[in-house]
Amino acid sequence: MSRLPFELFLALRYLRPKRTFVSVITLISVMGVMLGVAVLIIVISVMTGFDRQLRDKILGFSAHMKVQRFDEALANYKALGQSIRSNSHVRAVAPFILGQVMVKTQPETGKPLVSAPWLRGIVPELEKDVTSITTNIISGSLDLEGDSVVIGSELARHLRLNVGDRISIYSPRNLEEMEKHRGKEDEVAILPDEYTVRGIFDVGYYDYNANVIITSLRNAQSLYQLPGKVHGLLVMLDDPYLAGRTRGELYDKLDGDFHVSIWTEENSQILTALAVEKNVMFYILIFIVIVAAFGIMNSQITFVVQKTREIGMLKALGATRGQIMWLFLSQSLVVGVVGVTAGLGLGMLLLEVRNEFLRFMNRMTGVELFPAQIYAFTELPALIIPGDIVVICTSALIICGLAGLAPAWNAGRLKPVEALRHE
């Protein structure tokens, strides 16, 4: 004799594959639940991976906080840095100059190429404590002695630059001076500063690789005519998620017209967009499971009609309404458990081979389905959060259970005499 409750025993017996229309619908329902769960797991994991990698890339190249003055450069930045370091949450502080410049290449043959990247002046010894630029040099070295620069990998590819090539840099001050004297007797033509490319970096984030060049703080001060001054200070904390609280503490300590920005505000648009997209995708894709649940409901309604006489016999033998309801409700739950388990396995498998599949599709279609210029990543990221998996699987099981509730309730309401008379 089976040790299973008779309701579950009969439910499993009724679910045995048979060459009937109901069995086909049940199989389709299982496949629907499987695909819905698998797609949800894949999409939510990829969106979570996007969010996590984006935060890591942002925090790898940008500090947790920036301290600046409103429309004014910092003159006493060294003393200010010491004051900021006294905060218990501050791990490191480094000065920076950041502004847009015009770059012109000097090729041996062919026409020169022009771009307008952002130039960032740094102190390499201090920069290694606040960003990852020093550990992401893929060619050459972080040699900023003399007239030297380090450029992003995408910018180097766009301008066809290699280590050792020379470039001309026009600063905004150069252009302002020429504009000021244009058409006058003392009109002057200011020659650009020439720099040598000493290294190429790749921080894994397309926007930074394509739009940033690095030079020494002294060179940047010369380009922007800021002797002894900087645009601001980069601040690294022991916990980036304490940036809001630490900013309040710094405002209480700093005297003067200072502005402190934090990394979540500077990147709030894209971070908020990712969070909203993740939630919207969950609610949209859960409808795949809901559609599969309608298949479960359809098969259960048909099954109740087919088994009406058996229901009457069970009730005549003493089965209660609750036992009859549980018999048919457990069928829906079994279908849900099988579908969710299969979907979980399929989702995990596809996440493992996601990049191989993406490259295969790129080759087959001839179209780059995941362009780095748009998504800023060279590979499809993914991060599996156990909490997300639990929410997805639990939601799918609840939906499957609710789908079988109405047919089970209808089966429980049948009266033995009417059921036995059913043709």
Taking only the tens place, the pLDDT of each residue in 3-25 is 656 556 666 665 665 555 556 77
For residue 280, CA distances in Å to 40, 90, 351 come to 11, 37, 20
Phi, psi of 147 (to 5 degrees): -85, 80
Share of the chain above pLDDT 70, in %: 82
Tens of pLDDT along 66-121?
888 877 888 888 888 888 888 888 889 999 999 889 899 988 888 889 999 999 99
One domain for residues 258 and 278: no
One domain for residues 236 and 282: no
Domain assignment present for 297:
yes
Which residues fall within 8 angstroms of residue 213, CB to CB, at 6 or more apart?
101, 103, 117, 118, 119, 120, 149, 150, 151, 152, 155
The dihedral sign for the CA sequence 225, 226, 228, 232: negative
Instruction: For residues 36 and 288, give the distance between their C-alpha atoms in angstroms, rounded to a whole number.
Output: 5
Q: What is the pLDDT of residue 376?
A: 59
Dihedral angle of Cα 401, 406, 411, 412, to the nearest 10 degrees: 80
One domain for residues 342 and 356: yes
One domain for residues 148 and 237: yes
One domain for residues 130 and 204: yes
Instruction: For residues 237 and 366, give the distance between their C-alpha atoms in angstroms, rounded to a whole number.
Output: 45
Among the candidates 266, 294, 327, a domain finishes at 266
Return the exposure string of 255-271: e unless at least 16 CB atoms fall within 10 Å of the residue's CB, then b: eeebebebbbeeeeeeb
Q: What angle do CA 131, 133, 134 make, to 5 degrees?
A: 105
Q: What is the pLDDT of residue 364?
A: 81
Domain assignment present for 234:
yes
Euclidean distance between the first and the last CA atom of the chain, given in angstroms as a whole number: 32
Tens of pLDDT along 286-312?
888 888 888 878 777 777 777 667 766
One domain for residues 151 and 25: no
Share of the chain above pLDDT 90, in %: 17
Tens of pLDDT along 200-236?
998 877 788 889 999 999 999 988 888 889 999 999 9
Q: What is the pLDDT of residue 1?
A: 41
Domain, as residue range, for 19: 6-56+270-420
pLDDT at 156 over 90: yes
Which residues fall within 8 angstroms of residue 44, CB to CB, at 6 or more apart?
278, 281, 282, 388, 392
One domain for residues 293 and 406: yes
One domain for residues 256 and 120: yes
Q: Is 324 helix (H, G, I), strand (E, B) or coil?
A: helix
Q: What is the pLDDT of residue 133?
A: 81
Give the count of domains, the chain.
Answer: 2
| Helix%, strand%, coil% for the chain, nearest 5 | 55, 15, 25
* Out of 53-57, 276-280, 337-341, 351-355, least confident range: 53-57
Domain assignment present for 236:
yes
* Contact by Cβ (8 Å): 328, 407: yes
Tens of pLDDT along 327-343?
777 778 888 888 899 99
Q: Quick one: which of 137, 127, 120 has its CA closest to 234?
A: 127
One domain for residues 110 and 196: yes
Structure tokens, 213: 């060049």
Among the candidates 231, 250, 266, a domain finishes at 266
Instruction: For residues 109 and 40, give the distance between their C-alpha atoms in angstroms, rounded to a whole number.
Output: 53
One domain for residues 300 and 368: yes
Count CA within 13 A, CB hemisphere, residue 308: 15
Instruction: For residues 413 and 320, give the distance between their C-alpha atoms in angstroms, rounded to a whole number.
Output: 10
Phi, psi of 144 (to 5 degrees): -110, 20
For the chain, the C-alpha Rg in angstroms (whole number) is 33
Domain assignment present for 127:
yes
Domain assignment present for 1:
no
* Contact by Cβ (8 Å): 133, 127: yes
Count CA within 13 A, CB hemisphere, residue 332: 31
The pTM of the full predicted model, rounded to 2 decimals, is 0.66
Quickly state the pLDDT bin for 142 (edges 50, 70, 90).
confident
pLDDT at 413 over 80: no
Q: Quick one: which of 310, 345, 339 has its CA closest to 403?
A: 339
* Contact by Cβ (8 Å): 149, 167: yes
Average pLDDT, the chain: 81
Dihedral angle of Cα 59, 63, 68, 73, to the nearest 10 degrees: -110
Among the candidates 266, 296, 329, a domain finishes at 266
Q: Quick one: which of 90, 48, 30 has its CA closest to 334?
A: 30
One domain for residues 76 and 199: yes
Strands 193-201 and 148-152: parallel
Domain assignment present for 307:
yes
Q: How long a stretch of residues is the chain? A: 423
* Contact by Cβ (8 Å): 194, 166: yes
One domain for residues 244 and 276: no
Domain assignment present for 154:
yes
Q: In terms of pLDDT, which residue wins out, 206 or 195?
A: 195
Domain assignment present for 379:
yes
Q: How many CB atoms lie within 10 A of CB 10?
A: 21
* Contact by Cβ (8 Å): 228, 73: no
Q: Is 314 helix (H, G, I), strand (E, B) or coil?
A: helix
Strand ranges (E), 101-239: 102-105, 114-115, 118-122, 137-140, 148-152, 166-170, 193-201, 212-216, 232-237
Tens of pLDDT along 359-400?
887 788 777 766 766 665 667 788 888 998 999 999 988 988
Instruction: For residues 213 and 155, give the distance between their C-alpha atoms in angstroms, rounded to a whole number.
Output: 8
Instruction: For residues 313 and 324, give the distance between their C-alpha atoms in angstroms, rounded to a whole number.
Output: 11
